[in-house]
Chain A
């Protein structure tokens, strides 16, 4: 009985440290990017443009499931972490998606794409720095 957790600690809800929040968001971006790749592969083989065709498409359903998990983890991380630090990490998703598109779908790489994604990532990071929040 001496090792039992004091009741005050049991009642306290769980909180993430700053480092844990950043790590969690980082995993979210990887999950989110993999989800996008699955959604795209599903969309590529979509039989018809109907909701039923989408719901019976395994890569699409898996992709959206993964996307859902990633969103829940993101909300948990945002609860405890500072937005100004987490936003730039969130926008890494764009970088992973671009990278994975080249690997899996043989998308072309060019200077415009690299510049475009870099500028969007910077833009999202600046949004997160907004002090009015």
Chain B
């Protein structure tokens, strides 16, 4: 389970780099290929999937897969930190429900 949570943490950095890189795209396709931020984003996703695979080797998928939703929580913090996106009531309620859901789901773990 710790590995899946680690994967969701690393994957959330992937999203940050994709967002940072996407803002610098222009019509020229070379801007897509020579964009180090996008490359970093893809790199983080690859590392994240490596840990995810190790994480789901043991245990029930029905418990482990929904843990990926924790990535939404990390992403909200990075969006605030790096892109200045505000916390809103909807975000707090949404994140709270996701965390509560993850905790309850774990109670159902064999």
Binding site for B on A (CB under 8 A): 36-37, 39-40, 42-44, 46, 49, 51, 54, 60, 64, 91, 94, 97-98, 100-102, 105, 107-108, 110-113, 115-132
B96: chain A residues within 8 A (beta carbon): 123
In the assembled complex, the Cα of A129 lies from the Cα of B97 at a distance in Å of: 14
B91: chain A residues within 8 A (beta carbon): 127, 130
In the assembled complex, the Cα of A123 lies from the Cα of B95 at a distance in Å of: 6
Binding site for A on B (CB under 8 A): 49-50, 52-54, 56-57, 60-63, 65-66, 69, 72, 85-86, 88, 90-91, 93-108, 110
The SS class assigned to the B binding surface is helix
A40: chain B residues within 8 A (beta carbon): 56, 61
Contact A124 B102 (CB under 8 A): no
Contact B88 A102 (CB under 8 A): no
